[in-house]
Amino acid sequence: MRRSFASAVCRAAEKDPAVMFLTGDLGYQVFDEFIAKFGPRYVNAGIAEAQMVAMAAGLAKEGFRPIIYSIASFMTARPFEQLRVCVSYPDYPVLIIGAGGGYTYSSGGITHHAGDDLALMSLLPGMTVTAPCDPLEIGVLLPQLLKLKGPAYMRIGKFGEPEVRCAEPAVLGRARQLAPGARVALVTTGALAAVAQEAVAVLGREGITPSLYHFHTVKPLDTAVLERITAEAGAVIVLEESSPLGGLASAIANWMAFGGHSARLIRLGTPDSFLLGNPSRETVVERHGYGKQAIMDACRAAWQQAV
């Protein structure tokens, strides 16, 4: 994802001289092409995320299109007041990038955990919140985010994420159907779409065919697709690597409650607690039950109950 993001930023800077890139002392070698081509439009703000946000707000006020980049936990929680007051309140078009969102950096301990990044950004009025599933989706969504009149957040991963197969184009604000199905709907956001696609392929050979949807845009929520999903499926399984409070499942639950929808909602993801120590990401996934096997088990159980 990170290389795709760097390439997408270069393409955006080539098309728009107002695009600037600010980093919190991260991304060495990854952004060498940008530095070589657009040196004066590259700023290393150092390990000072709050000041970087304030700087980006000032640049946006003067007509630039700043993109700010750091590890997701440092880019959202640490400068939250500046994001709220300097960017969200005046509705400046700053694109905020959280690298290694969720528990990508799980082995770094709680300082590097960003299970709350989507929730924090969703709290800010006017903030568009996205979590692309693969490098291709990043390349398509980034220029769309740069066309917004207000601020936006994008969660990205690291390197080596697999491509997610989908015939539908990635359009900001619209969910994508990755697989047709019935009775049970599986809903994902972020890089977990790939493992969900693998699980659905295995389940299909058992005669279990849940539909699969990917919500790269967490805010605003694609309620039109949700209307279709809840009308067709008796159970909706949400897969996310986020806090259960304020993420995709929480947004869908809120929408269902106020809309009077009766489909059963099931969530697979990390808990509302600190993940202590420095476990590997694989350990986190298996321990908290949102890996491939857990997805298949949940779909099998929901499939039987939906008869």
Fold designation for 176-305: Rossmann fold (3.40.50)
> 2-156 with 176-305: one CATH topology?
yes
pLDDT of residue 307: 61
96, 92, 78: which is closest to 152 by C-alpha? 96
Domain boundaries, the chain: 2-156, 176-305
Q: What is the pLDDT of residues 136-183, one digit of tens each?
A: 999 999 999 999 999 999 999 876 788 899 989 999 999 999 999 999
Which residues fall within 8 angstroms of residue 222, CB to CB, at 6 or more apart? 173, 174, 175, 215
pLDDT of residue 162: 84
Q: What is the pLDDT of residues 258-291, one digit of tens each?
A: 988 888 999 999 999 999 989 999 999 999 999 9
CATH architecture of 2-156: 3-Layer(aba) Sandwich (3.40)
Q: What span, in angstroms and rounded, lies between the C-alpha atoms of 262 and 256? A: 8
Q: What is the mean pLDDT of each run of 10 residues along the chain (307 residues)?
A: 91 97 89 95 96 98 98 97 98 97 93 96 98 95 98 89 90 98 96 96 97 98 96 95 96 92 93 93 95 98 87
C-alpha R_g of the chain:
19
pLDDT of residue 306: 74
pLDDT of residue 260: 81
Preceding amide of 220 cis, omega within 30: yes
The tokens describing 156, both together, are: 């990205």
Asked if residue 127 lies in contact with residue 86, where contact means CB atoms within 8 angstroms, the answer is no
Buried/exposed code over 97-114 (b: 16+ C-beta within 10 A; e: otherwise): bbbbbbbbbbeeeeebbb
